[in-house]
Amino acid sequence: MAKRKTKKKVTQKDNLKRHIKTFWMLVFIGISVVVLMFLLASWGIFGALPDETSLENPEKNLATEIISSDGETLGKFYKENRTPVHYEDLPPHLIKALVATEDVRFYDHSGIDAKGTVRAVAFLGSRGGASTITQQLAKLFFTENASRNIFGRIIQKSKEWIIATRLEERYTKEEILTMYFNEYDFLNQAIGIESASNIYFDKHPSDLTITESAVLVGMFKNSSLYNPIRNPVGVRNRRNVVLSQMAKYDFISEEMKDSIQATELEIVFTPQGHDEGIATYFREYARKFMHDWIKENPKTDGSEYNIYSDGLKIYTTIDSKMQEYAETAVDTHMRNLQKEFDKQNKKNKLAPFRDVTNKEVAHIMKSSMKRSDRWREMKKQGKSEEEIVKSFSIETKMRIFSWGGDIDTLMTPMDSIRYYKSFLQSSLMSMTPQTGEVKAWVGGINYKHFKYDMVKKGKRQIGSTFKPFVYATVIDQMHMSPCDTLPNTLHTIEVGKHGLIEPWTPKNAGGKYGGMVTLKQALAQSVNTVTARLIDRVGPQPVIDLIDKMGVDTKNILPAPSIALGTPDVSLYEMVGAYSVFANEGVYIKPSLITRIEDKNGTVLFQNIPEAKDVLSKEAAYVTISLMEGVTRSGSGQRLRTAWAINTPVYKNVITGYPWEFKNAIAGKTGTTQNQSDGWFMGVVPNLVTGVWVGGEDRSTHFSSITYGQGATMALPIWANYMKECYANQDLHISEEEFVKPENLSIETDCEKWKEEKGNVEEDPEEF
């Protein structure tokens, strides 16, 4: 009995020793496995880890940013809409919200939170995850998405830990926080805190409030689930969790927490797609500029810059406020003008076309069909022309433009072509003549639906806006005064002169003739007969030579006297550059839009150098300006001098805006082409030249009468509403002074003094 009892005690003791031994073996094996896993991971057995270069420069796919002259972001080019910010740009409450919610011991650990890890293992993650902010950054930068199986998850965690410790060795806590904010994808094309702040709140990160910061930090848990656009209720609840965490760790008071938690979400959703935002047409110009620039300016290693991922900064001349004023002016006026145009076309069987035959309409439609994206795409697919033409008659679901907002409809592609041709288009360009800096650029009424840029690509007949070039040539060569008089009678240029093969006798638009008129009166009233006499005197070639020096492409302009009435096709870009010569004392400065380009590190890669040349004497430039001032005082632009938006029934229909009377010096010229196809207004003040064009896509799309189809109705109101806002903003410093008069001016512009000097003697009509 005693022996059996002793044996039993020995067995229990052995078992205890065996269990202890087994426990420590398991502990040793476990530690060994963990150590081995880390060693294998660090050696790259489970997949390559980032090398030293990657760790030193982890940022990738940075958006190229287009920046206005007043420091606003106009748009971006990107694969991923990420614009990095500096730590100084992050408000303290944003950082506190992140630390309180994601990693409260962030400043105490070296990449791995041991306490958090033990807690997560002990409670199987039910009391919070173990990932630190540094680990989350490592996952964003260098590791793949979460594995579905436990072994894969362990491998991924081991990689995160190794990378996290390496990141902590190389970067300060502030740098790690900044990289994390810059890297996270907040969805809706908002990658990084800069894009997220702009897209969800229309502001920079430095301007975020506590509640806005809490919203964005709340999205770190799951931006797909906690997205302000898809799930506002869930986002509000998550925001309140973040605020509770901030109060828990004394980053905010309980009173503040309770106060903010009671508020509703205030999201200001501002998409940043390529079709949204301001300066869309200009941004496309900038894209083309950059594509050309990178081909000629490779990196030091010979490779090309990538505007979608290299994080370049494109600094531009565009002023964001002036751009907004320009777009608003175009939008406001064109909505009303379109209503009147549609009203007048209700009984037009060929609408939106006029003064054409059915055969000509068919030709227009067929040409447009062959220029369409649909035609090009089907051609690439190998479809026959017969198949493609047939497809244009099949009804298709599409979203079309309207001034009241996009419309989902069912329409044949051919009908959609005709529908879009019914819209009048407009463009505006505004430039500082002394520097060549373009301050506003509006290429059309809606970039999403009408991508053709009418500022630079589009060339249209310029009508009477060409006449100042004729006058300037005469003044420069013959030293004529604005007070010189000429007969307002029909003038014929005979066959053989200036290369004519048949006589040319232009008529005045109003059909009025007789008497003598001064040059100032003739330009103000746009008298064609006087302009014909002037170009007959100097010849068309000197006029062409002048505008060529002014930046106008003249290779397709024939030296015919008829150019005096505006038959050449010229772009708005060229016209604004040319008119700037008059305001800049005869000096042409090529319009510029890109001032400099920097890489992501701030190194300057390109610096614009203005291109300037003398093309006209100071006297001739000033006298031409004096002539054009007459247009706004007594001619077709005189509506600027009265409350022209009221008390005129015709203009009430199409002109909106507060009554405005410009008192300052304004030189200008309206232009209207044949059949009212194009309406122009070129307006000049001492430090700003702005041109506006309005017309249909096709010249056969136009008003039926001059009442609405003239430049003074179609284009001038846009200029007026734009300039009204520019003058209201004192920070822009738009000049209200007189034009600078050259010293020792030899040409008299004061007609009262001129009469005294001349003894009131009129010129001999036969001389002209």
**pLDDT tens for each residue of 475-497:** 999 999 999 999 999 999 999 99
Categorize the per-residue pLDDT at 79 as very low, low, confident or very high, splitting at 50, 70 and 90: confident
Residues 241 and 107 in one domain: yes
pLDDT at 48: 54
Residue 564 included in any domain: no
Q: What is the mean pLDDT of residues 234-254?
A: 95
Residue 223 included in any domain: yes
Residue 190 included in any domain: yes
Of the two residues 768 and 737, the one the predictor is more confident about is: 737
Question: What's the CA gap between 762 and 242, in Å, rounded?
Answer: 86
Categorize the per-residue pLDDT at 277 as very low, low, confident or very high, splitting at 50, 70 and 90: confident
Residue 31 included in any domain: yes
What's the pLDDT tens digit per position in 158-207?
A: 677 778 888 888 899 999 999 999 989 998 888 899 999 989 998 999 99
Residue 383 included in any domain: no
What's the pLDDT tens digit per position in 707-735?
A: 899 999 999 999 999 999 999 999 999 99
Look up residue 661 and give its amino acid.
E
Q: Tokens for 608? A: 């614009």
Residues 42 and 155 in one domain: no
Residue 558 included in any domain: no
Residues 87 and 153 in one domain: yes
Domain boundary, last residue among 245, 271, 297: 271
Q: What is the mean pLDDT of residues 528-554?
A: 97
Q: What is the mean pLDDT of residues 496-523?
A: 93
Residues 90 and 37 in one domain: no
Domain boundary, last residue among 271, 286, 319: 271
Q: Is the dihedral of CA 725, 333, 203, 79 positive or negative?
A: negative
C-beta separation of 84 from 98 below 8 A: no
Question: What's the CA gap between 161 and 147, in Å, rounded?
Answer: 16
pLDDT at 20: 77
% of the chain surpassing 90 pLDDT: 71
Residues 258 and 146 in one domain: yes
Residues 101 and 236 in one domain: yes
Residues 122 and 23 in one domain: no
Mean pLDDT for the chain overall: 88
Domain boundary, last residue among 223, 242, 271: 271
pLDDT at 183: 87
What's the pLDDT tens digit per position in 432-482?
A: 999 999 999 999 999 999 999 999 999 999 999 999 999 999 999 999 999
C-beta separation of 137 from 180 below 8 A: yes
Range of the domain at 179: 82-271
SS3 159: helix
Report how many domains make up the chain: 2
pLDDT at 1: 47
Q: Tokens for 683? A: 């307006």
Categorize the per-residue pLDDT at 47 as very low, low, confident or very high, splitting at 50, 70 and 90: low
Q: What are phi and psi for residue 301, nearest 5 degrees?
A: -90, 5
Residue 519 included in any domain: no
In this predicted structure, the answer to whether residue 644 has a pLDDT above a threshold of 90 is no
pLDDT at 767: 41
SS3 315: strand
What angle (nearest 5°) sits at the alpha carbon of residue 640, between those of residues 439 and 688?
Answer: 20
Residues 168 and 44 in one domain: no
pLDDT at 125: 44
Residues 114 and 201 in one domain: yes
Residues 27 and 100 in one domain: no
CATH number at residue 259: 1.10.3810.10
Residue 203 included in any domain: yes
Residues 160 and 241 in one domain: yes
What's the pLDDT tens digit per position in 119-143?
A: 544 444 444 455 899 888 888 876 5
What's the pLDDT tens digit per position in 308-330?
A: 889 999 999 999 999 999 999 99
Residues 44 and 193 in one domain: no
From 165-174, 211-220, 283-292, 545-554, the region with the lowest mean pLDDT: 165-174
pLDDT at 659: 59
Question: What's the CA gap between 514 and 535, in Å, rounded?
Answer: 20
- Of 232, 238, 200, 204, give the one whose Cα is nearest residue 219: 238
Q: What is the mean pLDDT of residues 95-102?
A: 95
% of the chain surpassing 70 pLDDT: 86
C-beta separation of 582 from 615 below 8 A: no
Categorize the per-residue pLDDT at 256 as very low, low, confident or very high, splitting at 50, 70 and 90: very high
